[in-house]
């Protein structure tokens, strides 16, 4: 189990950054999704022991993070959002220094720093001072610093923000390689759904300090239903739409004038569509199951919370 939180709350004055967060999640790569201000960074900082929660129980990798934050941090790697750096140090020195702070002997830390910089693809520039780095290079150094002491869980806070498409793609590739290889498990905090869809097998959706969903991505998509169909055809489509709506299905017009999106009522199969088409004299030339995208699932989960 990567994270197990029960009733964790954290206030900043009147603002409830975390509001009774309860979640248990494992896996190799977990996305922490949510709009800005959802409480993602606060959750990560609480897990690291940088913030003390006002109430609740919190276990990270099986360790009580409130009682023993040092042991948690020894097993965690954290790459914070923003330009956190020690000016004057080169990329190599920064990574080696991070290793030494985690208890590696100096020589081992330097060797390991080279290894990690190779891994993240920072080759020529590793001897240059970090303040001369581009955003992409800086993100790579931060990931190398988070990995240098061989953590069991790597926490990345918005690692792709501000990156150009090429650098973003390379960074996501790296996360996938870590997930699929011997690297640590990854907790990826982002508001970019595509990043999670591409790299993670599970996700936590947060909104206004609360967890709206926690579990595998596939389960989230399944929960929201795979019983939607996109219909395309000709003839009496308006009559078809009315007939389907009259039978209790949800119908909406699609992106094109000749398409309909139908979400069948529970228990009904696609045969209901064909029957309605026959009854209304419509000719359908496409009935395609519409796969729920993560974006839909995310919006639905957040909307569900908002309606609560």
* Residue 170 vs 258, nearer CB to another protein: 170
Question: Judged by CB under 8 A, does residue 86 bind another protein?
Answer: yes
Q: Are 149 and 140 in contact (CB under 8 A)?
A: no
**Part of the chain binding another protein (CB under 8 A), chosen from 23-31, 71-79, 242-250, 284-292:** 71-79
* Residue 62 vs 82, nearer CB to another protein: 82
Give the residue from 193, 217, 194, 186 showing the smallest Cα distance to 33. Answer: 193
Using CB under 8 A, which of 40, 73, 212, 249 touches another protein?
A: 73
* Residue 78 vs 229, nearer CB to another protein: 78
Question: Judged by CB under 8 A, does residue 97 bind another protein?
Answer: yes
In angstroms, the CA 23 to CA 213 distance is 9
In angstroms, the CA 274 to CA 282 distance is 9
Using CB under 8 A, which of 48, 239, 245, 247 touches another protein?
A: 48
Query: Restricting to residues 267-306, which ones interact with another protein according to CB under 8 A?
Result: none
| Residue 204 Cβ vs another protein, minimum distance, rounded to whole Å | 20
In angstroms, the CA 283 to CA 285 distance is 7
Question: Judged by CB under 8 A, does residue 103 bind another protein?
Answer: yes
Using CB under 8 A, which of 26, 62, 177, 246 touches another protein?
A: 177
Question: Judged by CB under 8 A, does residue 71 bind another protein?
Answer: yes
Q: Cα dist. 85→76, 139, 189, 193, 308 in Å?
A: 19, 11, 20, 28, 41
Using CB under 8 A, which of 106, 222, 238, 291 touches another protein?
A: 106
Using CB under 8 A, which of 31, 39, 159, 183 touches another protein?
A: 183
Question: Judged by CB under 8 A, does residue 105 bind another protein?
Answer: yes
Residue 290 DSSP symbol: -
In angstroms, the CA 45 to CA 41 distance is 6
In angstroms, the CA 257 to CA 260 distance is 8
Per-residue burial over 30-59, b if 16 or more Cβ lie within 10 Å, else e, is: bbbbbeeebbbbbbbbbbbbebebeebebb
Using CB under 8 A, which of 20, 51, 208, 258 touches another protein?
A: 51
List residues bridging with 29 in a β-sheet.
186
Question: Judged by CB under 8 A, does residue 147 bind another protein?
Answer: yes
In angstroms, the CA 1 to CA 59 distance is 9
Total residues in contact with another protein, by rule CB under 8 A? 53
Sign of the alpha-carbon torsion through 175, 176, 181, 187 = positive
Question: Judged by CB under 8 A, does residue 164 bind another protein?
Answer: no
**Part of the chain binding another protein (CB under 8 A), chosen from 146-154, 236-244, 269-277, 279-287:** 146-154
Residue 293 DSSP symbol: P
* Residue 143 vs 231, nearer CB to another protein: 143
Residue ranges binding another protein (CB under 8 A): 45, 48, 50-52, 70-71, 73-74, 76, 78, 80, 82-89, 93, 97-98, 100-106, 112, 115, 118-125, 137, 145, 147, 149-150, 170, 173-174, 177-178, 181-183
């Amino acid at each position: 189990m990567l994270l197990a939180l029960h009733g964790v709350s954290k206030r900043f004055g009147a603002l409830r950054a975390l509001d009774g967060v309860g979640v248990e999640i494992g896996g190799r790569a977990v996305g922490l999704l949510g709009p800005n201000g959802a409480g993602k960074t606060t959750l990560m900082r609480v897990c690291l022991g940088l913030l003390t929660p006002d109430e609740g129980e919190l276990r990270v990798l099986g360790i009580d993070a409130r009682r023993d934050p040092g042991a948690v941090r020894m097993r965690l790697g954290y790459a914070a959002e923003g330009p956190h750096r020690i000016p004057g140090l080169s990329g190599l020195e920064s990574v080696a220094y991070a290793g030494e702070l985690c208890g590696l002997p100096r020589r081992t830390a330097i060797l390991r720093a080279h290894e990690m910089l190779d891994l993240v693809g920072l080759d020529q520039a590793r001897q240059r001072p970090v303040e001369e780095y581009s955003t992409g290079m800086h993100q790579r150094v931060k990931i190398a610093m988070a990995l240098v002491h061989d953590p069991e869980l790597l926490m990345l806070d918005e690692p792709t923000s501000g990156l150009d498409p090429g650098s973003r793609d390379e960074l996501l590739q790296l996360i996938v390689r870590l997930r699929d290889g011997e690297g640590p498990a990854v907790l990826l905090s982002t508001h970019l759904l595509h990043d999670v869809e591409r790299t993670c097998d599970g996700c936590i959706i947060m909104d206004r300090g609360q967890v709206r969903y926690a579990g595998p991505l596939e389960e989230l998509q399944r929960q929201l239903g795979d019983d939607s169909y996109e219909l395309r055809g000709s003839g009496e489509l308006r009559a078809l739409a009315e007939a389907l709506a009259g039978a209790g299905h949800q119908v909406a017009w699609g992106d094109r004038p000749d398409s309909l999106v139908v979400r069948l009522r529970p228990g009904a199969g696609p045969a209901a569509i064909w029957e309605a088409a026959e009854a209304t004299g419509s000719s359908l030339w496409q009935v395609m199951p519409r796969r729920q995208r993560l974006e839909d699932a995310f919006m639905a989960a957040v909307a569900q919370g908002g309606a609560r």
